[in-house]
Structure 1
Amino acid sequence: MKEGSGMSTYLLNDRFVKEDEITVSIEDRGYYFGDGVYEVIRVYGGILFTADEHIGRLYESASKIRMDLPYGEEEMKAKIEQLVKDNGIIEGHVYVQATRGAAPRVHQFPGEGVVPVITGYTKAYGQGAEPAETVSLKSVEDIRWMRCDIKSLNLLANVLAKQEAHEHGCYEALLHRGGTVTEGSSSNVFGVKDGVIHTHPVSNFILNGITRRVVMECCEELGQPVHEQPMALEDVYTMDEFFMTSTTNGIAPVSAIDGRQIGDGRPGPVTKALMAAFDKKLPAPVASK
């Protein structure tokens, strides 16, 4: 199958189905309460990147909300790999989520016999224009709940922040709690000052991004100094460099925040070095047969 061709295959619980076979109950707790968790895994050259880390975090998030998934991590990985293969994804990503299941609407957990609902799909990336060399950010007050370390379906605050950034012509929102920078609405953020990287430490106030983890590994390998301590919003404007990280964007240099140019508006030397180190960690394309 060519990438993106034909009718797509989806994951529904333990089965692979076509779109016209998908049914999800109106009483699914994901609809009622956002009672579930999810992951997005990048595909490079037909290969899942950091799949074990993403799947491990999916199960960690499920455990944190006291939800037992119906099968283990290895089976989940096998199903996701099969989904990528069946849909012929070369460049793209996989989205997988698990809700607590379908049951009459009550706030407490449903009784025994209610099984989590797992769904998954793939998205192919087209051969369109190259992404912008840099992105701009808009600062937005972080109004999310206190367990941002859980990759839950409760994303309304993230959506509102992203929309505010969009309305100001910016690519991403830079979240802050009373002037203390946390992360982006769907990314982690890093500032560079005098050759030292500054980023929020891992805590309940941020999601420990998988790409963030890879970047931290790159920093260690390069001997790049990193200061994991919350940044003040007023300090980010004077950073020499700034960049964001996410599964779908990798490392994205930031040219401006709130309309104020960062450095000379172009990717700086530290960012460039990390981008090169990150690229070396990407999987080699699957050999064509």
Structure 2
Amino acid sequence: MYFVDGRWVDAAETLIHPEDRGYLFGDGIYEVCRVYQGKIYQWEAHYQRFVRSAAELRIAFPWTSSELQSTAYELVEKNGLAAEDAILYLQVTRGAAPRTHDFPEGMKPVLSGFARKMARPLAQLENGVAAALLPDIRWLRCDIKSLNLLGAVMAKQQAKERGAFEAILHRDGTVTEGSASNLFVVKDGALYTHPANHLILRGITRQVVLELAAQLSLPVREEAFDTQFLAQADEAFFTGTTVEVMPVVSIDGQPVGSGRVGAVVRKLQEAFAATIGLG
């Protein structure tokens, strides 16, 4: 079942207005939430980021946290996922109106969403993944979780074609993040990650990891670093709603550190698992 503009519909009934601005311009925002055993993980953090994205794009957002959460759980339940691991997707577009680049008057935002079963990527979490280093061709407001994802889509596809799980993006040599994830590296026992400015998404899992690092007394440096520093890292890992704390064991075919999942990543994986009730 899908939720579209206040209606519950199946795939055969789903309609997108030909002049919905999300369809025409990518003029909208979204959130992807993880569901563990039927429970939405970090709901309030996702909601607050949703609200912030709407404000940055001046899209009306009339739903309270409790109202939207109620719809989210209905999506989970109506899709038979009340006791499953899943993902939940929620999207808001500015609405439908005759096509014009500027904002039409009197727009009514359109909320839609879906939920589907998704198991935790246990084998990849255990063994680590390969990454490909690619130029960051995205726009300059990556802090807004907007529907403008073509740059990320192109990077993800190029990484796939190189046999990699994910792309690591850089702007003229300065490493930013993954195409659909944040990036951390470990050097001499300290974590390094790009500061949460307009060049990266303020990831929910990224924030959880920062809090866990503090609890584990792991030093953190939120500062920009270059591709040379990346090549010298002892460990590296992606963070994200669907990838959790995902070790990176090679980049462009070259091993990261020993080429195996490192001790710091393992500590953070164990601590993260405890936050979802698995520790």
TM-score by length of 1: 0.92
Aligned to 1:23: 15
Report the CA distance between 1:128 and its aligned residue.
9.4
Amino acid at match of 2:38: G
1:21-53 Cα deviation digits (max 9, x unpaired): 322201000111000000100011111100111
Give aligned pairs, total.
Answer: 275
Q: 1:127 to 1:148 in 2, by over 3 A?
A: closer
Equivalent residue, structure 2, for 1:239: 233
Matches within 5 A, 1:23-42: 23-42=15-34
Map 1:203-218 to 2 at 5 A. Answer: 203-218=197-212
1:188, distance to aligned residue in structure 2 (A)? 0.4
The 3-state SS of whatever aligns with 1:275 is helix
> Residues of 2 paired with 1:127 and 1:225: CA distance?
28
Q: Does structure 2 retain, via aligned residues, the 8 Å contact 1:44–1:92?
A: yes
Structure 2 counterpart of 1:253, one-letter code: P
With over 3 angstroms needed to count, the CA separation of the structure-2 counterparts of 1:118 and 1:13, relative to structure 1, is: same
CA–CA distance in 2 between the matches of 1:21 and 1:197? 48
> Does 2:159 correspond to 1:159?
no
Match of 1:138 in 2: 132
Tell me how far apart the structure 2 counterparts of residues 108 and 126 of structure 1 sit (CA, whole Å): 41
Matched residues in 2 for 1:82 and 1:130: separation? 31
The range that moved more, 144-153 or 118-127, is 118-127
Partner secondary structure for residue 12 of structure 2: helix
1:12 to 4, 7, 32: 4
Candidates 94, 98, 101, aligned match of 2:95: 101
Which deviations, in whole Å up to 9, do the C-alpha atoms of 1:184-235 show, x marking residues without a partner?
0000001101101111011001001000010001001111100111111111
Contact 1:35–1:99, Cα closer than 8 Å, also in 2: yes
- 2:222 matched to 1:228? yes
- Aligned residue type for 1:249: V
Q: Does 1:76 align with 2:76?
A: no
Cα distance in structure 2, aligned partners of 1:67 and 1:171: 34
Q: Pick one of 101, 117, 124 that aligns with 2:110.
A: 117
Amino acid at match of 1:152: S
Q: Secondary structure at the match of 1:243?
A: strand
State how far apart, in whole Å, the 1-side matches of 2:65 and 2:119 are.
Answer: 30
* Percent of matched pairs sharing the same residue: 44
Offset, 1:88: 1.9
Contact 1:47 1:283 in 2 (8 A): no
Q: Is the 8 A contact 1:28 1:101 kept in 2?
A: yes
- State how far apart, in whole Å, the 2-side matches of 1:189 and 1:131 are: 16
Contact 1:42 1:93 (C-alpha < 8 Å) held by counterparts: yes
In the superposition, the TM-score normalised over structure 2's length comes to: 0.95
| 1:235-257 alpha-carbon deviations (Å, 9 max, x no partner) | 11111111111100101000111
Q: How far off its partner does 1:265 sit?
A: 1.3
Quick check: 1:243–1:254 contact (8 Å CA) kept in 2?
yes
Cα distance in 2 for partners of 1:223, 1:34 equals 41
In structure 2, stretches of 5+ residues that fail to align are none
How much has 1:127 moved relative to structure 2? 9.1
Shift of 1:270: 0.7
What residue number does 1:4 align with? none
Two-structure CA RMSD over aligned residues (Å): 1.5
* Runs of 5+ unmatched residues, structure 1: 1-8, 285-289
Matched, 1:148 2:133: no
Letter in 2 for 1:147: R
Counterpart in 2 of 1:53?
45
Cα separation, 2, equivalents of 1:143 and 1:191:
22
Aligned to 1:6: none
1:210 maps to amino acid = I
Q: CA deviation at 1:282?
A: 0.4
Distance (Å, rounded) in 2 between the aligned partners of 1:164 and 1:39: 24
The Cα of 1:56 is off from its aligned counterpart by 1.3
8 Å contact from structure 2 (residues 194, 225) kept in 1: yes
